[in-house]
């Protein structure tokens, strides 16, 4: 019987060793220290599910978590952290690219973006790469509690303007705060909607 609560399944660096691709899968990725582990823990309702660290670049593996016994949340290594060696960065890049391109049950990649900052080149380049490779993605603005609502909205609007330089329309996006549990239900409902479509196609 499937475990009903979100729980850790496996970590590895080899896509061939990931769980069988028979359930919908959602990848979470972003620059190091963007608040990824905190967001995953918020979605899970478990502050200890994904390990949080004050040391950026801690996630170095493809981590699978099973949610609701019916879909996988995948925690991918962060990108853009300067203190990681170039060789390690190259290894991560190859691993992440292979996973994103070849994982047949990956239905959406959530790109996490710290809402406190203006558009970063590394994030824009990564989203363009996803678009060029026809990998569906959505944007998740994190740390929404760190700004006043007007300032937060201003930064999101700035991102919208930048995105429209490259995209016909703004991708699906969510504004979240792990501290306030903001955006939790919106994200989970979005995933559940895609899951229901996946089941209908199966």
> Domains in the chain, ordered, with CATH?
7-201 (3.40.50.300)
pLDDT score, position 191: 97
Half-sphere exposure of 31 (CA within 13 A, CB side): 20
> Per mean pLDDT, which range of 23-27, 70-74, 85-89, 172-176 is the poorest?
85-89
pLDDT score, position 52: 63
Residue 76 φ then ψ, to 5°: -100, 155
SS3 label, residue 87: helix
Long-range contacts of range 122-131, CB-CB < 8 Å, 24 or more positions apart?
122/31, 122/79, 122/80, 123/30, 123/31, 124/162, 124/166, 126/29, 126/79, 127/163, 127/171, 128/166, 130/100, 131/166, 131/167
Residue 2 has pLDDT above 50, yes or no: no
Per-residue CA distances from 187 to 9, 12, 87, 109 (Å): 21, 26, 34, 12
77 in Cβ contact with 59 (< 8 Å): yes
Query: Average pLDDT in the 99-107 region?
Result: 95
**Per-residue pLDDT band at 80 (split at 50, 70, 90):** low
Q: Give the bridge partners for 62, in sequence order.
A: 12
**If residue 159 lies in a helix (H) or strand (E), which one and from where to where?**
helix 149-163
Query: What angle do the packed helices 184-201 and 36-44 form, to 10 degrees?
Result: 70
Query: Average pLDDT in the 46-61 region?
Result: 69
pLDDT score, position 4: 56
pLDDT per residue as tens digits for the range 153-177:
999 999 999 999 999 989 999 999 9
123 in Cβ contact with 142 (< 8 Å): no
Query: Average pLDDT in the 46-66 region?
Result: 75
Residue 130 has pLDDT above 70, yes or no: yes
27 in Cβ contact with 100 (< 8 Å): yes
**If residue 163 lies in a helix (H) or strand (E), which one and from where to where?**
helix 149-163
Residue 81 has pLDDT above 60, yes or no: no
Residue 35 has pLDDT above 60, yes or no: yes
Over the chain, what is the mean pLDDT?
88
Query: Average pLDDT in the 125-133 region?
Result: 93
Q: Tokens in use for 92?
A: 């991560």
**Per-residue pLDDT band at 60 (split at 50, 70, 90):** confident
Per-residue CA distances from 166 to 24, 78, 120 (Å): 28, 23, 14
Q: Give the bridge partners for 30, in sequence order.
A: 112
Between CA 7 and CA 72 the distance in angstroms is 10
141 in Cβ contact with 176 (< 8 Å): yes
**Per-residue pLDDT band at 1 (split at 50, 70, 90):** very low
pLDDT score, position 50: 86
């Amino acid at each position: 019987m499937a475990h009903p609560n979100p729980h850790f399944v496996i970590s590895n660096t080899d896509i061939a060793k990931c769980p069988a691709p028979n359930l919908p899968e959602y990848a979470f990725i972003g620059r190091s220290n963007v608040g990824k582990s905190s967001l995953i823990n918020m979605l899970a309702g478990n502050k200890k599910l994904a390990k949080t660290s004050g040391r950026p670049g801690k996630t170095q593996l493809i981590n699978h978590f099973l949610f609701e016994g019916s879909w996988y949340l995948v925690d991918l290594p962060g990108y853009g952290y300067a203190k990681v060696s170039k060789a390690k960065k190259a290894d991560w890049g190859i691993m992440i690219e292979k996973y994103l391109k070849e994982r047949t049950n990956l239905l959406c990649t959530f790109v996490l973006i710290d809402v406190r900052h203006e558009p970063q080149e590394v994030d824009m380049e990564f989203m363009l790469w996803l678009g060029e490779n026809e990998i569906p993605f959505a944007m998740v603005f994190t740390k929404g509690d760190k700004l006043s609502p007007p300032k937060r909205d201003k930064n999101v609007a700035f991102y919208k303007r930048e995105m429209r330089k490259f995209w016909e329309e703004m991708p699906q996006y969510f504004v979240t705060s792990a501290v306030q549990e903001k955006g939790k239900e919106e994200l989970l409902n979005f995933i559940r909607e895609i899951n229901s479509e996946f089941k209908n196609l199966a």
